[in-house]
Amino acid sequence: MKKFEVLIIGGGPAAITICKILGQKKQVGIIRPEDYSMIYCAMPYVIEKILPIQKTFKKDELVTDTGAELIRDTVTHVNLEAREVKTAKGQTYTYDKIVITTGALPVLPKIEGYDLKGVSTFKTEEDLKNIQAATENGTKKVVVVGAGAIGIELAQAFNKIGIKTHIVDAEAHILPNMMDHEMVEAAQAELIASGVTLHLNNKVVALKGKEFVKKVMLEDGTSIHLHSLDDCSEADKNVTGNGLVVFAVGMRPNVELFRDTGLAIGRDGIIVNEKMETNIADVYAAGDCVQFKSGITNEIISGKLATNAVPMGRVVAKNMLGENKIYKGFFNGAATKIENLFVGGSGISEKLSKNKFEVTVGYSELTTTFPIMPDAKKVKIKLISDKKTKKIIGGQVVSGTPSADKVDLITMAIQHGLTIDDLMDFSYSSQPYQSFFPAGNLLVNAAENAEVNI
Ligand SMILES: Cc1cc2nc3c(=O)[nH]c(=O)nc-3n(C[C@H](O)[C@H](O)[C@H](O)COP(=O)(O)OP(=O)(O)OC[C@H]3O[C@@H](n4cnc5c(N)ncnc54)[C@H](O)[C@@H]3O)c2cc1C
């Protein structure tokens, strides 16, 4: 029976971050089942054939070079009182401190036909390989359920390799949690123009077929026939491959293993305080498996992003080294790409702010370089601020060039409680290839526009 000072369950970004900080300083063990940890964010680009699957495998050295011991196994039983875990390979490990980073599992709604062949989620290496195999075995048509960033990226990948692609979402526009309607309109139009069919304000209610999924039934009575390129007819003898339906409708915390261990678990995961401590001494949790609050409203919100898992892991590790770090909450800055447009958002959208804040919004639209330069592209930003305090609580960007750096600036403004007035005074840089003329800056102009709208 081997004992570790720090035992980590899980091998994702939260776990790797902890190893990087603690690996040389403590005796760390990390247990995860996969041959390879995956770069999940890059999985759509394997489907699109931009990347071979091997490029999405993280190297073991990311863990082993830190000094941590990597154990390829699955934890099957946990006794937090006895400080002991048991594994599928029959091993028992004990510890002084344990960190739970078991991540999240994709949601597969149990509607009629959910267990037919050809129905998948999109998280694991196995999901990726199954979907890839279907696309290589003649699948001609796919339905992606969910128009969040993962669904949108996946749908574009299918469309680009010549598979007729439909997206279904219950909301009125794509990226409903990230963007307001007017900020995503142009990108949505580009997606439709690229050949993707959108079914918005709609839901998948049943999947039909004998062994393989053949038909997708929507709430409004539409049926999508997976074996016909023409949606109206039942079958098309030219369509030989099997149909595919991929659910990208969210993640739920992977916490079943801990149900009877005395660990406090909430609706969205393991309950932790700002130091990522659970209700049991020396038991910590971080990443997608925890439930946490918004950094803006303090209410429990979903924040299942690698960019939240990493800072949570950092808080755990630094506190184990005697620092006094706290995790302040989710701001959920995120970005994606839709055809030629890079879109992203942070904080609270105007739509989701309803009933919480009275808001003022400000817009500005400039170019990504001096407009006289050859490759100038349009870039538009929206700032959302609390009318009472003038603090920035959200913002969105749509740009012809990558938007993540601008999303991050908005997050920084939210995180540090900056107001419209602060942003009007923002000191920025300018250069012909890299920004608009010195006469204007996106954040400053949007803040000025918001000030006018107060
Ligand atoms: C397709 C896709 C695209 C994404 N794109 C982005 C993006 O662009 N940006 C972004 O910020 N986030 C993105 N995410 C989300 C991001 O991947 C997750 O938020 C992140 O991986 C969470 O990290 P984690 O360490 O908490 O958990 P995970 O990465 O899920 O890792 C959990 C680990 O725990 C292991 N484990 C579970 N149970 C056990 C057990 N019983 N015993 C041992 N090990 C166990 C698992 O096998 C796994 O290794 C994406 C996710 C997906 C699926």
* pLDDT tens-digit map of 98-127: 999 999 999 999 999 999 999 999 999 999
Q: Residue 237: is its pLDDT beyond 70?
A: no
Question: In testing the pocket of ligand 1, which one of 30, 31, 41 has its CB within 8 Å of the most ligand atoms?
Answer: 41
What number does the ligand 1 atom closest to the CA of 336 have? 8
**33-91 pLDDT tens trace:** 999 999 999 999 999 999 999 999 999 999 999 999 999 999 999 999 999 999 999 99
Per-residue DSSP letters for 121-151? -SSSHHHHHHHHHHHHTT--EEEEE--SHHH
Question: Residue 211's pLDDT band (boundaries 50, 70, 90)?
Answer: very high
* CATH value at residue 379: 3.30.390.30
The structure tokens listed for 372 are 């006289």
Do 263 and 305 share a domain, yes or no?
yes
**272 belongs to a structural domain:** yes
Among the listed residues 337, 286, 302, 228, the one whose alpha carbon sits nearest the alpha carbon of residue 102: 286
Q: Does 255 share its domain with 238?
A: no
Which of the two residues, 266 and 237, has the higher pLDDT score?
266
Domain interval for residue 304: 2-104+251-320
Q: Last residue of a domain, which of 219, 247, 275?
A: 247
Ligand 1: residue of 7, 34, 40 to mutate (most ligand atoms within 8 A of CB) is: 40
* C-alpha 440 – ligand 1 centre gap (Å): 40
- pLDDT in the model for residue 350: 98
Give 368-380 pLDDT, tens digit per residue.
Answer: 999 999 999 999 9
At residue 242 the predicted structure's pLDDT band, cuts being 50, 70 and 90, is confident
Residues 345 and 444 in one domain: yes
Is residue 4 a contact partner of residue 27, using CB atoms and an 8 Å limit? Answer: yes
Q: Are residues 278 and 162 in the same domain?
A: no
Measured CA to CA, the distance from residue 333 to residue 252 in angstroms comes to 20
Is residue 332 a part of any domain in this protein? no
Amino acid sitting at position 185: E
Q: Do residues 211 and 118 touch, judged by C-beta distance below 8 A?
A: no
CATH number where 30 lies: 3.50.50.60
227 pLDDT band, cuts 50/70/90, is confident
Residue 336 lies in a domain: no
According to DSSP, residue 316 is labeled: H
- Does one domain contain both 191 and 296? no
pLDDT at residue 150 above 70? yes
Domain count for the chain, please give it. 3
Residue 362 within a domain? yes
| 329: in domain | no
| Whether pLDDT at 240 is above 70 | no
pLDDT tens-digit readout, 159-209? 999 999 999 999 999 999 999 999 999 999 999 999 999 999 999 999 999
**Is the domain of 131 the same as that of 223?**
yes
Q: Is the CB of 31 under 6 A from ligand 1?
A: yes
Among 396, 397, 443, CA closest to 420: 443
Average pLDDT, the chain: 96
Statement: residue 356 has pLDDT above 80: yes
Which of 228, 247, 266 is where one domain is finished? 247
